[in-house]
Structure 1
Amino acid sequence: MAMLKSQGQLQFEDKWPSMRPTVLKLLRQEPVTRAEWQDLFWSVHSVCLWDDKGPNKVHEALQTDILEFIKQAQTRVLQHQEDSALLKAYIAEWSKFFAQCDYLPKPFGQLESSLSGKPHSTIQKKNQGEESIVRKLMLDSWNQSIFSNIKHRLQGSAMKLVHAERNGEAFDSQLVIGVRESYVNLSSDAEDKLKIYRDNFERAYLDATASFYKAKAPQYLDANGVQNYMRYAEMKLKEEEQRAQRYLETRKGCNSVAALTECCVNALVTAFKETILAEGPGMIKRNETEKLRLMFSLMDRVPDGIQPMLCYLEEHVINAGLADMMDAADTITTDSEKYVEQLLALFNKFSELVSEAFGDDPRFLTSRDKAYREVVNDTKIFKLDLPVKNKGVGTKTQPESKCPELLANYCDMLLRKTPLSKKLTSEEVERKLKDVLLVLKYVQNKDVFMRYHKAHLTRRLILDTSADNEKEENMVEWLREVGMPADYVNKLARMFQDIKVSEDLNTEFKEAHRNNNEGIAESINIKILNAGAWARSSDRVSVSLPMELEDYIPEVEEFYRLKHSGRKLQWHHLMSNGIITFTNEVGKFDVEVTTFQMAVLFAWNQRSKEKITYENLKLATELPDSELRRTLWSLVAFPKLKRQVLLCEPEAKSPKDFGDSTLFHVNQQFSLIKNGKVQKRGKINVIGRLQLSTEKSKEEDNEGIVQLRILRVQEAIVKIMKMRKKITNAALQTELVEILKNMFLPSKKMIKEQIEWLIEHKYMKRDEDNINMFIYMA
């Protein structure tokens, strides 16, 4: 055995001199014959198998020759002083050496096997990511000698070239790319292939970039102002991102480009954040969308950069919106069409700003919505006063926005036969109704809109003044789609069903009386409607009807009793109307009147030229004082007439001026005037806005809204408590607002009062250890 080892040692000493020339040729990229290539394989194999120390000796000899070769390469590189020449020489030497890192290890497979203690076949099948021993030796040797010695010069030269490019000078970009690639390929660490690149080249690149812009950016800002600087910053960020794609590593899992972008943002934007943002309010006010878009793109890269811009937008929408509404207050408070158009114009203006300046970014849309909601629900310009009863203090009013009422009025103008609805196409009406629903989305107290919308719908259905019945029913469904409470929408839908049922009953009634040859039946149109969906009991007003109508009431009641036993009819004359033929010295006219107006005018039926006192009219009509005054005023001062139906003595400026002795008489010169000419025939509507409620019931309606809100709050609190069993005050309020937001926004005071009421009535209680925690009591 001793003799074999001795032969092995001799074998290495004998073999290496013949192996070395081939190794050197491979290192220098000189041609190697097939015989030399095969001999090298065999020599490595025999040395490593026959000599225990052979593998280590081969490894040491290889290392010596590789280091010698690298030292010569370093000498050749350092001969060049100029940056470009130095980089060019380094890249050339590295490229040749790196190429041989793939070839030189091949003949040394047996060396790998011997040093690792694994069979040669296993070595060949090992993970592709692991470096071979010879390749690792080559890369580590290059790293420890030439690279460690000149890496600072290499990086410095590469960064100088990039700096020159930033200043507009031309150079061969492949030099920087070549250096980068040598850093990337140099690591022999299987766990982190990019460690050398990241610790050296990337860090140097980021530091050089930051230094460049820390020097340049302030100078540019001082010389050119904020707005030009923003363009400069945007342009430089794009440039640097493109440059980073060329000069930094972009392989998957490497975040060099992102790190560079963050570095540039810090140097170009974050450092000047306050200065740039200070320009925001002015730009928003001046609607400078292009500049805002630029500011947005820059600030969106900065932590919390967007937040101040959101605040600026909110302030602008509120201030500009309220200022515009205030400027147009004289018009919009009296004209619901102009009011809604003004609101929509504002919404479209602000939406356009958000679209063009901020690309409809959700954060800015949220700010727009929040601010626009304040404009819509503002009570400075006009308000609706709702009564709030305080224990021991009496009644005070709670101001709310009049917006829901005006929106309902505008819907009425679109859905009723009006000059506005007549001049619009069906598609235009639909679009404008959808616009109303858009604004309604921002209304806090939608229950007020519901009340007025229902009142208007009632008028249209009773007077048969709807411009398009299909649109009416569509509107109900659209209200459902935008989240209106189901009970409210269902009640509206019930009204349409009632009208259809009523039409059928009316036809049957006329048919029954036609057989009795009663001609008046043809001229009467009865509407039998469900009281719960249509009216309040306090809306009923007593009135002495003309004999022709009074005699007909029992017949209608008898007809209905035979159809539906057990149901009771209540007559709502307040909501009724008709057409009378009015004859005077000028001619004959058909006048559309309310039942109250009809009762008043019939007082002159047998004595057309007499003067009747207010007191006698009160006795004749049996109308309450307030209703009689209102009705008489509509006949002596109807705004659309140049010649009124009735005249009074002495003249009055308002219904309050009527006294018991005020005399009224039929105007014998009453007529319609068209184009300045007196007409002897014609039809006129003096109903105007059909009164659906008395003064008393209006107050009740307002109180009813508040009372219903109280019940809704109580109901919602109990619902939440039943589900949660235990909940904090803050969480309860949040959930409560979420449940009720489609109807109204409950005030904190109302919530607090109803919580106290529910605690007092044993629906819930406070936790003994935490007063802000509520517990449900079953």
Structure 2
Amino acid sequence: MEKTMISHIITPKEKPLLFEERWPIMQPTVSKLVRQDCVSRAEWQDLFGEVHRVCLWDERSPDKMYKALQEEIMTFIREAQIRVLQHQDEQALLNAYISEWTRFWTQCSYLPMPFVQLEACLLGKTTSNPQRKQPVQESMVKKLMLDSWNKSIFSSIKQKLQDAAMHLVYKERCNEQFDSNLVIGVRESYVNLCSNACDQLQIYRDHFEKAYIDFTRSFYLQQAGSYLAENGMQEYMKYADAKLKEEEQRASKYLEPGPESQIKLQNCCVDVLVTAFKETLLSECPSLISTNETERLRLLFSLVDRVPGGTEPLLTYLEDHIFQSGLSDMMENASTINQDSEKYVEQLLSLFRRFSKLVKDAFNGDPRFLTARDKAFKKVVNDTSVFSLDLPSRQGAATRVPESRCPELLANYCDMLLRKTQLSKRLTPDEVDARLKDVLLVLKYVQNRDVFMRYHKTHLTRRLILETSADSDKEEMMVEWLREVGMPADFVHKLARMFQDIKVSSDLNREFKEEFKRSREVATDVINIKILNWGAWGRSGDRVPVSLPLELEEIVPEVEDFYKRHHSGRKLQWHHHMSNGTIHFSNETGEYDLDVTTFQMAVLFAWNERPKDKISFESLRLATEIPDVELRRTIWSLVAFPKLKRQVLSYYPECQSPKDFANSTVFWVNQEFALIRGGKAQKFGKVNLIGKLQLVTEKTKDEENVAIMELRALRTQEAIIKILKMRKSISNSQLQAELIEILKSQFIPTRKLIKEQLEWLIENKYIRRDESNINLFHYVA
């Protein structure tokens, strides 16, 4: 059996690896790495091991290795510099530099990797240095490479590189082709060579960016003025717009990504291409707006919108054009639209659509221009030079306050859509809805909405009493739409109450008919009473006297007795001027049913017992007991009804208006009266002589207008007290601002009105002035 001998040879302690002994072995591999020569895997791995051993075994080696590495890098850079500088042509110089720089920058990522241990040792030695308390984040070897490149080659030729790059950009602006990567490479070297860890873009901003912007400014300073002089303003706008877009795209390639550089270049181009010629550009605006040249306006807007405050003149021009053009169109058609509310509203809507299209097409629907459109259109709607409604001031009817008739005409148009008219009959339900919404659109621009409320309520009252609504659902829908557009809640609530009253009145009417039929044992389909709540329907307190026909006079006490049995503590007030009926009329021509007002009925019944007599105006006044003004108007509707070719009554002598009737003027039933159809007299038919039911007597029209002003005064007082209750103390200017904000949904209070109400409230000790400041008000609890 063999025995194996195991021997252990002990060698002396290994000698420390000195830098001088190992660097000659490491240097060839380092040189290959710097020059981007091929390095085998074994060489790559051996270099890691050599650096590690040398740095750990010899404390003096890291500093020596760092200096040797620096020398190796500088040797390569000096060789690269020679290769770059041998080119005199700008493009060749750039090509050579970019080629060398690209190779070097690539190696900046690889060369530091084997020297991680060297950096660790150097940092370990320097961390005790009080001047290097913060650890360096970037690789020391990479920083060494970049700093060496910067000091040796870049610093000496960066001006040449910069000038060459700017010259290439100049060629591109002149439509010459070149390799854009050359300019990009120069920019990247400016960015990557910065050793300022806190601001990596410092060198780029101070040199490349500044030079790029300066060259751009210089280029367009030479080009812009001459182009304008040669081609005119219209072509220059296209040129400036194209160049601004070009420079934006060019900047995205040649400048560092990020908003800062882009904004600087954009401001530079705008200054040179737009701001310098702003006044000339803006001088084109009025003519372009007036001729509706939307394409050119859009181009002009895109240019001046880049200039701070550049659009302000455009807004002014647009607002002036809309107001002047709108007012001119309204004046041109004044004679037609003043009497036809449908054409008036259509004219306004046509203007609004035209101006809206202008803003959309020329200014891209910019909110600032939409606001200018709204301001100008509001002036047109509320202008009093074409359509004026004179409201008396509180001092008396002698002093008139002119306001726009727009709300009155809007209310009339609503009435035409909601009432059974030729207009509402030819429109589909959807078309009626669309037109009602158009009315609400215009209503948004009306200042004196309280006037619209008055007229709308008057028309609604007439429709509900005469039962002429085209669609009851649309009536109630309109009330909801008024609520949605911000009409006062109390007004909308009263309108809703009117519909409720009609439904309640319908039930009462049915019960009354049943009782009346049992007591009289006669047909009751000819009787239709409406008992309405004064709180919702209340109008002028003026009750016009009239001597009712016997047939109606007998029913009045029966209705009152019936109502008292059902409701105690309530009082009925008869408003005969708001009532109407149908009478059977016969003459030598034929028999007809006439829809008439109570006043017309009272007049016609004067001939009931003596159909062929002639009756004087004075006798009619005594018989009917109708006031003079109302009687004249009622008789005129029977002798000169505009829709009839043959009138119900004849008279003598002839006159031009009801004011010309004398006490001796005589009237008689026209025995030739007939309904004419197709040029032939009909023996039977039905004629509506009511027209618009007279809800307000002639005497009280001024009272209605006074009531509007009085309600405004009360609303103003109410708003002042509300504000002062909340604020306790407030200045005059702030009070006026808050008052307008509160009341603008109804009307815009004038300074005079505000002053009057303040004085009244002070006089009645609701508020008081401050003793030391007359413009300060205090609430008196």
Mark yes or no: TM-score above 0.5: yes
Matches within 5 A, 1:9-28: 11-28=18-35
- 8 A Cα contact 2:549 2:602, kept in partner: yes
- Matches of 1:295 and 1:652, distance apart in 2: 64
CA 1:129 to 1:164, structure 2 compared with 1: closer, same or farther past 3 Å? farther
1:170, distance to aligned residue in structure 2 (A): 0.8
- Matches of 1:764 and 1:672, distance apart in 2: 66
Match of 2:737 in 1: 734
Matches within 5 A, 1:522-533: 522-533=525-536
CA RMSD in angstroms comes to 2.1
Match of 1:757 in 2: 760
- Matches of 1:680 and 1:535, distance apart in 2: 42
1:776, distance to aligned residue in structure 2 (A): 2.5
Q: Deviations over 1:244-276 (max 9, x none)?
A: 1222221xx552223222222222112211111
Aligned: 1:476 with 2:479: yes
Aligned: 1:84 with 2:91: yes
- Matches of 1:662 and 1:435, distance apart in 2: 49
2:606 to 603, 607, 610: 603
Secondary structure in 2 matching 1:283: helix
- Taking structure 2 as the reference length, the TM-score comes to 0.95
Secondary structure in 1 matching 2:524: helix
- 8 A Cα contact 2:448 2:747, kept in partner: yes
Aligned: 1:197 with 2:200: no
State the one-letter code of the partner of 2:631: L
Aligned: 1:336 with 2:377: no
- 8 A Cα contact 1:538 1:697, kept in partner: no
Aligned: 1:298 with 2:320: no
Match of 1:45 in 2: 52
- Matches of 1:518 and 1:541, distance apart in 2: 32
1:704 to 703, 707, 724: 707
Match of 2:155 in 1: 148
Match of 1:429 in 2: 432
1:498 to 498, 501, 504: 501
- Matches of 1:129 and 1:646, distance apart in 2: 113
Q: Deviations over 1:479-519 (max 9, x none)?
A: 11110001001111111111111111111111122223533
Q: Deviations over 1:365-386 (max 9, x none)?
A: 1110011000000000121111
Matches within 5 A, 1:570-585: 570-585=573-588
- 8 A Cα contact 2:33 2:111, kept in partner: yes
Secondary structure in 1 matching 2:582: strand
CA 1:118 to 1:633, structure 2 compared with 1: closer, same or farther past 3 Å? farther
Matches within 5 A, 1:245-324: 245-250=252-257, 253=258, 255-324=260-329
Aligned: 1:225 with 2:232: yes
Match of 2:123 in 1: 116
- Matches of 1:127 and 1:239, distance apart in 2: 45
Match of 1:631 in 2: 634
Match of 2:718 in 1: 715
CA 1:606 to 1:506, structure 2 compared with 1: closer, same or farther past 3 Å? same
- Matches of 1:245 and 1:11, distance apart in 2: 53
Secondary structure in 1 matching 2:462: helix
Identity of aligned residues (%): 66
- Matches of 2:658 and 2:538, distance apart in 1: 26
Match of 1:167 in 2: 174
- 8 A Cα contact 1:542 1:623, kept in partner: yes
Secondary structure in 2 matching 1:697: helix
State the one-letter code of the partner of 2:221: K
- Matches of 1:9 and 1:21, distance apart in 2: 22
- Matches of 2:778 and 2:471, distance apart in 1: 52
CA 1:439 to 1:136, structure 2 compared with 1: closer, same or farther past 3 Å? same
Which moves more between the two structures, 17-26 or 594-603? 17-26
- Matches of 2:553 and 2:292, distance apart in 1: 67
Which moves more between the two structures, 577-586 or 528-537? 528-537
Match of 1:3 in 2: none
1:509 to 483, 502, 512: 512
1:137 to 144, 150, 153: 144
Q: Deviations over 1:28-50 (max 9, x none)?
A: 11223444434433443344344
- Matches of 2:207 and 2:328, distance apart in 1: 59
State the one-letter code of the partner of 1:460: R
Secondary structure in 1 matching 2:18: helix
Which moves more between the two structures, 50-59 or 447-456? 50-59
2:415 to 412, 416, 423: 412
Aligned residues: 763
Q: Deviations over 1:448-471 (max 9, x none)?
A: 000001111111111111111111
- Matches of 1:382 and 1:775, distance apart in 2: 41
1:56, distance to aligned residue in structure 2 (A): 2.4
- 8 A Cα contact 2:540 2:696, kept in partner: no
Name structure 2 gaps, 5 residues minimum. Answer: 1-13, 128-132
- Matches of 2:358 and 2:43, distance apart in 1: 78
2:389 to 384, 387, 392: 384
Match of 1:695 in 2: 698
- 8 A Cα contact 1:131 1:188, kept in partner: no
- Matches of 1:203 and 1:275, distance apart in 2: 29
- 8 A Cα contact 2:517 2:523, kept in partner: no
State the one-letter code of the partner of 2:427: L
- 8 A Cα contact 2:17 2:57, kept in partner: no
Matches within 5 A, 1:368-379: 368-379=373-384
- 8 A Cα contact 2:540 2:704, kept in partner: no
Match of 2:405 in 1: 402
- 8 A Cα contact 2:394 2:710, kept in partner: no
Match of 1:4 in 2: none
- 8 A Cα contact 1:44 1:110, kept in partner: yes
- 8 A Cα contact 1:767 1:773, kept in partner: yes
- Matches of 1:129 and 1:381, distance apart in 2: 80
Secondary structure in 1 matching 2:479: helix
Q: Deviations over 1:630-649 (max 9, x none)?
A: 11111111111111111111
Secondary structure in 2 matching 1:454: helix
Match of 2:618 in 1: 615
- Matches of 1:758 and 1:445, distance apart in 2: 24
1:22, distance to aligned residue in structure 2 (A): 2.6
Aligned: 1:545 with 2:552: no
- 8 A Cα contact 1:404 1:449, kept in partner: yes
State the one-letter code of the partner of 1:307: E
